[in-house]
Chains A and B, each alone.
Chain A
């Protein structure tokens, strides 16, 4: 009895402390806890496939913070790497903006880290373009510590082998350890076990059903331009295929938007959605509207595969005993579309050009892809990995199935148009037109015309 009470008290205190910690949730605590977190963190270290011959340390500037789930997984990997190879990792937890605010200015000096990470579009646009990265092709031949298996053997080719991951000499500059995608999210407990809609009409039917059930259909934090961007790009990719949007966006005359009728069709389909958006989406302050979805105000939410981990954390802090049984589906093929696409974004490690300990950094990349360590990404961080042989978090089963579907065409997130001209094309040309389309201020035809004229103006101005 006393022991029981004491345990309850300690558990309560621990919960309280976790709540105060702000983001101190390795995949959720309490009711939203993921199973297997402690098991992973306490498991013995795997052997290293490659041991650096000379390097005794290397520096790593992280896109994560130390108390994030990914930070915890990496810390365990560093500890293991030191234990097995004697190499010490000097890490700085800098967060998502490390690549622009810390790394890029540092490229002017010799004080650069050996290893850093971000998504491939961002690394490509900000660090590879000015020549800040080196080839990581040699990493693919390194052993991961599972017999003779190499990095190349264990990674899914679609996660690294695409044009956006090639530097000017044609070498890969990033080795992925996390894969993201995007989807329509819903709570199976309240919405039922919704199956993948086959047509746009079927999907619209789901939204109508939500409304007739007295709920808002779609949550959208409209103050984040790249959340607004999903709807049009998802539909357009299905008409024009991988690389189609990128080609049109970089067309100096802007005429590509008009010559391929798919762009107008996609805009017409996009214009059907805003009437289902939750009231207030256009005056939002992230993450309020996403939280309204988690609270059950709306039925669907279209964001990346990080939706479960973000909303779990929110629900934990609310502590109201709400639990979501995450389900998801992809955009259906709109009428007349020919490309059954699935969007993908690879997050991975890159090594800087001026790295002093490239050997150790590369050995670590290979080591982290060992299944016993990489397992932490799904288990602790509730995210997907570029290996097919690891457990998939329940939340992400449907997303993973879409990514693994051999019939589907893989497209880089937003087809990479968010990185064009360092993001300036998106801010100046796409976003204003997109928000006007979503707010019903312009017609689909005007939207396409605006992309064409503003795009041409933009490129003329860029010289």
Chain B
């Protein structure tokens, strides 16, 4: 009897489980569909449309897009404005990236054992809560050049006996923005990296200390390997953020209402200028071509970065 009943139960359970699974399957689409539809409508389709439109000439002013092959791409590549924009964007990604991460690593070395490290971390994060536009306006005053009524930066320079510098001249603006970016974003990356550092078991550091390791050795042999994955993700985040830099440069290098001289452009400004052309019809085809170039650049850089950062995960 018992032998008969016991086997009888598993099939019943299996049927029940099967019913649950099929109900789950039946519910999959009703639950996933709204999200998928929204994702498709607001992200996938516009991206596809951007790619398609980049092969057309379209003023976006009541006319219909006319296919024109790769003209937008060849024109873009040959344009000085694009060359400047491309160069500057790469400067922000690489120079700004190196600076930001160097600073962030430096702080991870110091902040761990520092008294009041948490407060310092919070303070370093502050520039992040300010909108880039506001930051750009503010820095415009800081870097003002006016003999007798200098901005803060030149006031300090003159106080130290140095000559005031023309920070906002188009040829200098890229350097100024790079420095501002490093200043403004390192707090964010310090926060991310420190969160990873906090997870490292303290005994590793204690052990290293007993062995007489210097802060650099501790960083090189404990902190960096143990946070490698997070550093990789932070690197990807940085690349994406740096590639779309727009407002900071727009308000710092120009009057804020009109595009700055093309020497200071970024890819974002190029897209903006072609979209709301300073003095004429938009050139949506050209703007889309640049947007596609940005997507391609992000993809290439991110893939390269991930390749470069690939390591076996360390278990701890």
* A interface residues (Cβ-Cβ under 8 A, vs B): 96-97, 100-101, 104-105, 107-108, 121-122, 125-127, 129-132, 221, 223-226, 279-280, 282-288, 292, 353, 418-419, 421-424, 426-428, 431-432, 435, 454, 457, 461-463
Which chain A positions have C-beta within 8 A of B168?
223, 283-285
Tell me whether A427 and B62 are in contact (CB under 8 A): no
Please tell me if the beta carbons of A428 and B279 are within 8 angstroms of each other in the complex.
no
Interface residues as binary, B137-171 with A (CB distance below 8 Å gives 1, 0 otherwise): 00010001111000000000000000000111110
B280 touches A422 (CB 8 A): yes
| Contact sample, A vs B, 16 pairs, CB 8 Å cutoff | A97-B276, A104-B61, A223-B170, A223-B255, A223-B260, A225-B261, A285-B144, A285-B255, A353-B62, A418-B279, A423-B279, A427-B259, A428-B81, A432-B261, A435-B170, A461-B74
Closest-by-CB residue of A relative to B168 is A283
Give me the 10 closest cross-chain CB pairs, A-B, nearest first.
Answer: A422-B280, A423-B279, A283-B166, A125-B280, A286-B255, A130-B61, A107-B62, A423-B278, A422-B277, A107-B61
Choose among B61, B167, B254, B280 the residue that contacts A223 (Cβ–Cβ < 8 A): B254
Contact of A462 among B75, B253, B254 (CB under 8 A): B75
In the complex, A177 Cα to B151 Cα: how many Å? 41
B163 to chain A, nearest CB (A): 12
Measured CA separation A292–B78 after assembly (Å): 40
Q: A96 with B257: in contact, given A424-B277, A461-B79 (CB under 8 Å)?
A: yes
CA distance A426 to B262 in the complex (A): 10
Q: Which residues of B contact A132 (CB under 8 A)?
A: 61-62
Interface contact A432-B263, CB-CB below 8 Å:
yes
Q: Which chain A residue shows the least CB distance to B165?
A: A283
A431 touching B280, Cβ below 8 Å? no
Instruction: Please name all residues of chain B whose beta carbon is closer than 8 Å to the beta carbon of A285 when the two chains form the complex.
Output: 140, 144, 168, 255
- Across the two chains, which residue of chain A brings its CB closest to B260? A223
Beyond A223-B170, A292-B146, list 14 extra A-B contacts (CB 8 Å). A104-B60, A104-B282, A125-B279, A125-B281, A126-B277, A129-B280, A279-B147, A285-B168, A287-B255, A422-B277, A427-B81, A432-B263, A435-B261, A463-B71
- Asked if B78 contacts A432 (CB within 8 A), the reply is no
B126 within 8 A of A: no
With both chains docked as a complex, state the minimum distance between the C-beta of B60 and any C-beta of chain A, in angstroms. 6
Residues of B within 8 A of A432 (CB): 80, 261-263
Q: When the two chains form their complex, are residues B280 and A126 in contact, meaning their CB atoms are under 8 A apart?
A: yes
Chain A positions within 8 Å of B261 at CB level: 223, 225, 431-432, 435
Q: How near does chain A come to B88, taking the closest CB pair, in angstroms?
A: 14
Tell me, rounded to whole Å, the shortest Cβ–Cβ distance linking A97 to chain B.
7
Main secondary structure of the interface of A (DSSP, over half): helix
Q: How far is the CB of B258 from chain A (nearest CB, A)?
A: 6
Q: Is the interface of B mostly helix, strand, loop or mixed?
A: loop
Residue of A nearest to B79 (CB): A428
Contacts of A121 in B (CB 8 A): 279
- Give Cα A280 to B168, complex, Å: 9
Chain A CB within 8 A of B273 CB? yes
Nearest-CB residue, chain B, relative to A421: B280
Which one, A104, A126, A283, A428, contacts B145 given CB within 8 A?
A283
B59 at the interface (CB under 8 A from A): yes
Q: How far is the CB of B75 from chain A (nearest CB, A)?
A: 5
Interface membership of B172, Cβ < 8 A: yes
Q: Is B283 an interface residue when CB atoms closer than 8 A count as contact?
A: yes
Name the contact of B147 in the complex, choosing from A100, A280, A422 (C-beta under 8 A).
Answer: A280
Given A418-B279, A423-B279, is A223 in contact with B253 using a C-beta cutoff of 8 Å? Answer: yes
How far does the Cβ of B260 sit from chain A's closest Cβ, in whole Å? 7
Compute how far the CA of A156 lies from the CA of B276 in the bound complex, rounded to whole angstroms.
33
Q: Once the chains are docked, how many angstroms separate the CA of A402 from the CA of B281?
A: 33
- Which B residues are in CB contact (< 8 Å) with A225? 258, 261
Give, as a whole number of angstroms, the nearest-CB distance from A275 to chain B.
Answer: 16
Q: Are B169 and A282 in contact (CB under 8 A)?
A: yes
> How near does chain A come to B57, taking the closest CB pair, in angstroms?
10
B63: CB under 8 A from chain A? Answer: yes
Contacts of B260 in A (CB 8 A): 223
A280 to B, closest residue via Cβ: B145
Closest CB in chain B relative to A233 CB, distance in Å: 14
Residues of A within 8 A of B79 (CB): 424, 428, 461
Partner of A427, one of B60, B61, B262, B281: B262
Instruction: Report the minimal beta-carbon distance from A155 to chain B, rounded to whole angstroms.
Output: 25
Is there an interface contact between B62 and A130, defined as CB atoms closer than 8 Å? yes
Contact B283 A422 (CB under 8 A): yes
- If A127-B61, A130-B61 touch, whether A283 touches B167 (CB-CB below 8 Å) is yes
A131 to B: closest C-beta gap in Å: 6
A131/B166 contact (C-beta < 8 A), A280-B147, A292-B146 known: no
A283 to B168, CA, bound (A): 5
List residues of B (153-199) whose CB comes within 8 Å of A's CBs. 166-170, 172
Docked Cα-Cα span, A223 to B168, in Å, equals: 9
A140 to B: closest C-beta gap in Å: 26
C-alpha gap A457/B80 in the complex (Å): 10
Contact status of A130 and B281, CB under 8 A, knowing A223-B260, A457-B78: yes
| B38: min CB distance to chain A, Å | 23
Task: Collect the chain A residues with CB atoms within 8 Å of residue B172's CB.
Answer: 283
Across the interface, A130 reaches (CB within 8 A) one of B63, B74, B169, namely: B63
A428 with B170: in contact, given A107-B62, A223-B253, A463-B71 (CB under 8 Å)?
no
Chain A residues contacting B147 (CB-CB under 8 Å) are 279-280
Residues in chain B near residue A100, CB distance under 8 A: 276-277, 282
The residue on B at minimum CB distance from A295 is B149
A130 contact set on B, CB distance < 8 A: 59, 61-63, 281
Could you tell me which residues of chain B, from 276 to 308, have a CB within 8 Å of some CB in chain A? 276-283
Which of B62, B78, B273, B280 counts the most A-chain CB atoms under 10 A from its CB? B280
B262 & A461 in contact (Cβ 8 Å cutoff): no
List chain B residues, Cβ under 8 A from A279. 147
CA distance A427 to B62 in the complex (A): 25
